[in-house]
A and B are shown apart, each in its own frame.
Chain A
Amino acid sequence: MDRMLVSPSPHIHTGRTTSGIMADVCIALLPAIVVSVLFYGWAELLVLGVSVVSCVLIEWAITKYLFKKEGRFCESAAVVTGLLLAMNLPVTTPWWVVFIGALFAIGVVKMSFGGLGQNVFNPAIAARVFLLISFPTYMTDWTVTPGFIHSTDAVSGATLLGRYAEGGVSAVAGTDYLGTLFLNIGGSAGEISAIALLIGFVYLLCRKVVKPWITLSIFATVALVSGIFFLADPSTYTDPLFNLLTGGLVLGACFMATDYVTSPMSFWGQIIYGAGIGFLVMMIRYFGAYPEGVSFAILIMNITVPLLNKAFHQRKFGRK
């Protein structure tokens, strides 16, 4: 008889792997990526390409030369970070700024904590915030590059949230909400189409990659907080629907806040985490110095994750 394997049970495995899960996230991002490339053209492809390639190369290099580990690393996780970073940047970001962002995301935020699964902050979000304070001009240049579908010349447009921060409610009066849901030209690639992001998110839910609690909690809190302010003073504060559909909220709530590593694991932890993000987003949008606050909100709530994991556990069988 040939030599047989002997090991403790269980002897079978689901077959679902980390790379497979990350590949699912990439697939879920595809609709939004396709829309952004169609509308922002070659320039968007360049940002995406530079970001993904640098993230993968930087992680490979650090794994091999700094960690001195032979063998594989989870490439698809680096691809996800690369895609998310690119979707958080203006299409006009110079390639070297994108590269610096990738270096910060992977090199500092992810690998210096030990790599996959060890980081405290969401790499793509932290890199976006890092770039925002390091290169404010590049990061708030919302020039629209010619795309493959609408081939008008480059136009410069402030985002809806930018206009609100500048000119108050009257500056965004008459916003077409249905239009915003489908197509919202101006802003970063990940802000173009809420519906494309939501389609991807539904895919993630169907594939059981993520649970809906964090996302729902963020949406509900944003709606609730802005609803209270809007009802109190509609001439100063924007309404809930406006806040749900604009800026990076859908991208942040569906793809960034749900990152496994930097979000809580228990149901109540996830609800509180989402509520914290939603609340902070609205505070920054209404009262902060920046027009948009999704990145800051997620980054701040990332810090609370270890505490939330410590405080909330799932109910154990046969125990109170």
Chain B
Amino acid sequence: MGGIHPCDSKFARECPIEVLPLPNTAYVSMAQHLGAPAKPVVNVGDYVKVGQVIAEPGGFISAFVHSPVSGTVKSIGPRADLAGNSVTHIEITVQDDEWADGIDLSKDLVTDIPYTREEILDKIKACGVVGLGGATFPTHVKLNPAPGKVAECLIINCAECEPFLTSDYRIMLERTKEIIVGVAIMQKALNGCRCVIGIEENKPEAIDAMAAAVAQLGFPDIEVKTLKKKYPQGGEKQLIDAVMHRQVRSGCLPIDEGAVVQNVATALAVYEAVQKNKPLITNTLTVTGDSIPANRQHNYLFRIGTPLSFIIEYSGGVPQTTAKIISGGPMMGKAVANIDAATVKGSSSVLYLSRKATLRDEPGQCIRCGRCADACPMGLEPFLLLRLCKAADMPQLEENAVQDCIECGCCMYSCPSALPLLDYIRQGKGQVMGIIKSRNIKK
């Protein structure tokens, strides 16, 4: 249903992952996961080691945060994130690179999984692992279905359907076996349900590598499935539909259809957490764009908390022709308003777009061509929602399922009249969700 086929522009796909040097100062955000912000447990002046806990969960849906560097805590306080919003950060002046005790830094592959389900979940929680596909939902919560819900299928999201991004592709090629072990660990945490690894057809090398690793390691019930190339194939509900042929009903969670979806980068983080005791303090990001030459495209292994400006400078500065810097993909990523902002667990790219690629056209008139409705992966009618949003008709918006919108941007991408469909729909969705929430509280 729906979807679009943008040019995939994976310019950095052949660039091996390089290790980014340490910054002079790391800024660790307390709100880099979905849910309650973490609470700092260190004080200004403390010396912290790499991997040491510096903040603990602020609620049930929250996560531990670890120091990505070793050095002295310089300050704890508000700092602007990439959108310019004020968020509590712990500022650490980097002194050396001393790791906390108990972290296995060797490159040896550990395939044995001697832990029980509870031990696995505890380790994942203790290492601050969150979903790295975009939503940064705490992984231990997702791997622990509510009582009465049973996971039938673990789906590993390797679609990487956003144009330009290649970090998932690179880890699939370079860290294949570790990922498969990570998958097996999550499978065990879900009481050994079956597992499907979904990869888009435009990454044949990754499909081959992953399938070979599955066969070699011999874990049971793991299948590699080739998915159609289509955006948003990696949307959670779309992926479940493609793999299990089940549609998660409106207002329900994937687990209601027996599905648990985890991103491939999360599988790697789970491997490192469980087998190596390594907290989530590094991730892979792509430096790419249509406004930089081929030799300046990179995939980096970076320490979380490294400022974007450090990555930008290290990789050669902002290219001349750039009009917009985006953190994330061009369809759902966020425009960077503050390049001094720090990277977070979920950072996946620094994307430079030229004026030509990103400047919006002057909006015209709706010609009722229906392209937005054809493109909508949720089967909504964006042209109608736009009209209802402008009229602020909340009952009709709810009737027409604005709350189902996944904000993938397909409608706006397709609109020949360049109408700001999603800008309006986002607002309408927010208001309708608020109404639904307050109604449920009253009940």
Residues of A within 8 A of B (CB): 1-2, 4-14, 16-18, 20-21, 71-72, 74, 77, 115-118, 260-261, 265-266, 313-319
Q: A5-B323, A265-B373 are in contact. Are A14 and B6 (CB under 8 A)?
A: yes
Stretch at the interface among B106-114, B173-181, B191-199, B417-425: B417-425
- Give Cα A184 to B327, complex, Å: 61
CA A2 to CA B319, docked complex, whole Å: 10
Tell which of A6, A18, A115, A118 touches B417, judged by Cβ atoms closer than 8 Å.
A18
Q: Which residue of A lies closest to B359 (CB)?
A: A5
| Distance between Cα atoms of A18 and B414 in the complex (Å) | 11
A155 → chain B closest CB, angstroms: 41
State whether B335 touches A5 (Cβ < 8 A): yes
Q: How far is the CA of A116 from the CA of B369 in the complex (A)?
A: 12
Q: A1-B318, A17-B416, A18-B364 known; A6 and B337 CB under 8 Å?
A: yes
Answer yes or no: B237 CB below 8 A from chain A CBs: yes
B 228-272 to A, binary, CB cutoff 8 A, 1 in contact else 0: 000000000100010000011110100000000000000000000
Bound state CA distance, A319 and B334, in angstroms?
A: 30
User: How many residues in B have their beta carbons less than 8 Å from beta carbons of A?
Assistant: 66
A11 and B381: CB pair below 8 A?
A: no
Residues of B within 8 A of A314 (CB): 373, 379, 381
Nearest opposing residue in chain B for A71, CB measure: B362
CB distance from B258 to the nearest CB of A (A): 14
Given contact pairs A10-B330, A11-B333, a sample of 17 additional A-B residue pairs in the complex whose CB atoms are under 8 Å apart: A6-B336, A9-B330, A9-B407, A10-B409, A10-B413, A11-B358, A13-B415, A14-B6, A16-B414, A17-B418, A117-B365, A316-B380, A317-B241, A318-B248, A318-B249, A318-B378, A318-B404
Min distance, Cβ A206 to any Cβ of chain B, angstroms: 16
Nearest Cβ in chain B — how far from A309, in angstroms? 8
B interface list, Cβ under 8 A from A: 1, 4, 6, 163, 237, 241, 247-250, 252, 318, 322-326, 330-337, 339, 353, 355, 357-362, 364-371, 373, 377-381, 383, 400-401, 404, 407-410, 412-418, 422-423, 426
CB distance from A258 to the nearest CB of B (A): 11
Q: Are B330 and A316 touching (Cβ within 8 A)?
A: no
> Which of B247, B330, B362, B413 counts the most chain A CB atoms within 10 A?
B413
| Smallest beta-carbon distance A23→chain B, Å | 11
List 7 tightest A-B contacts by C-beta distance, closest first. Answer: A10-B409, A117-B365, A316-B379, A5-B324, A318-B247, A6-B335, A317-B378
In the bound complex, residues from chain B placing their C-beta under 8 Å from that of A12 are 6, 163, 330-331, 353, 357-358, 413
Bound complex: CA A319 to CA B249 (Å):
6
Q: Give the residue of B250, B377, B412 whose beta carbon is less than 8 angstroms from that of A10.
A: B412
Output the least CB separation between B87 and chain A (Å).
17
For A316, the chain B residues whose CB sits under 8 A away are 250, 378-380, 401, 404
Cα–Cα distance between A235 and B302 once the two chains are bound (Å) = 84
Closest to A77 in B: B367
Question: 15 interchain pairs (CB within 8 A)?
Answer: A5-B323, A8-B426, A10-B330, A11-B324, A11-B358, A13-B361, A17-B417, A71-B362, A117-B365, A265-B381, A265-B383, A266-B373, A317-B250, A317-B378, A319-B401
Q: Which residues of A contact B4 (CB under 8 A)?
A: 14
Q: Assess A5 versus B422: contact at CB under 8 Å? Given A265-B368, A313-B381.
A: no
- Residue of chain A at shortest CB distance from B335: A6
In the complex, what's the smallest C-beta–C-beta distance from B319 to chain A, in angstroms? 11
Residues of B within 8 A of A260 (CB): 367-370
Bound form: Cα–Cα A295–B407 in Å: 41
Do residues B332 and A10 form an inter-chain contact, with CB atoms below 8 A?
yes
User: Which of chain A's residues have a CB closer than 8 A to the CB of B353?
Assistant: 11-12
Whole-angstrom distance from the CB of B338 to the nearest CB of chain A?
Answer: 9
Name which residue of chain A comes closest to B251, CB basis.
A318
A109 to B369, CA, bound (A): 19
- Complex Cα distance, B332 from A315, in Å, reads 24
Q: Known contacts A12-B330, A317-B404: does B368 contact A4 (CB below 8 Å)?
A: no
CB distance from B423 to the nearest CB of A (A): 6
User: Nearest B residue to A13 by beta-carbon distance?
Assistant: B413
Q: A7 and B360 in contact (CB under 8 A), knowing A261-B368, A314-B373?
A: yes
B334 / chain A contacts, CB cutoff of 8 Å: 9
Q: Which residues of A contact B335 (CB under 8 A)?
A: 4-9, 11
Shortest Cβ distance from residue B387 to the other chain A in the assembled complex, whole angstroms: 11
A114 to B442, CA, bound (A): 44
Residues of chain B within 8 A of A17, CB atoms compared: 361, 416-418
Once the chains are docked, how many angstroms separate the CA of A6 from the CA of B338? 10
The answer on a CB contact under 8 Å between A261 and B324 is no
The reply to whether A21 and B416 form a contact with Cβ atoms under 8 Å apart is yes
Q: Are A116 and B413 interface neighbours, CB within 8 A?
A: no
User: A316 CA to B417 CA in the complex, in Å?
Assistant: 24
Q: Across the interface, do A318 and B250 meet the contact criterion of CB distance under 8 Å?
A: yes
CB distance from A13 to the nearest CB of B (A): 6
Chain B residues near A318 (CB-CB < 8 A): 237, 247-250, 252, 378, 404
Give the residues in chain B near A20, CB-CB below 8 Å.
416
In the complex, chain B residues whose CB is within 8 Å of the CB of A4: 322-325, 335-336
Tell me the smallest distance from the CB of B163 to a CB of chain A, in Å.
Answer: 7
Nearest to A270 among chain B residues (CB) is: B370
Report the Cα distance A118→B334, complex, angstroms. 34
Q: Is the CB of A11 within 8 A of B249?
A: no
Chain B contacts of A116 at CB under 8 A? Answer: 364-365, 367
Chain B residues in 8 Å Cβ range of A10 = 330-332, 408-410, 412-413, 422
- CB neighbours (8 Å) of B360 from chain A are 7, 13
* Bound Cα distance A261, B325 (Å): 37
CA distance A2 to B354 in the complex (A): 13
The complex places the Cα of A1 from the Cα of B312 at a distance, in Å, of: 11
Q: Chain B CB within 10 Å — which of A4, A7, A261 has the most? A: A4
Q: Which residues on B sit within 8 Å (CB–CB) of A313?
A: 381, 400
Q: How far apart are B417's CB and chain A's nearest CB, in angstroms? A: 5
Q: What is the CB-to-nearest-CB distance from A306 to chain B, in angstroms, rounded to a whole number?
A: 11
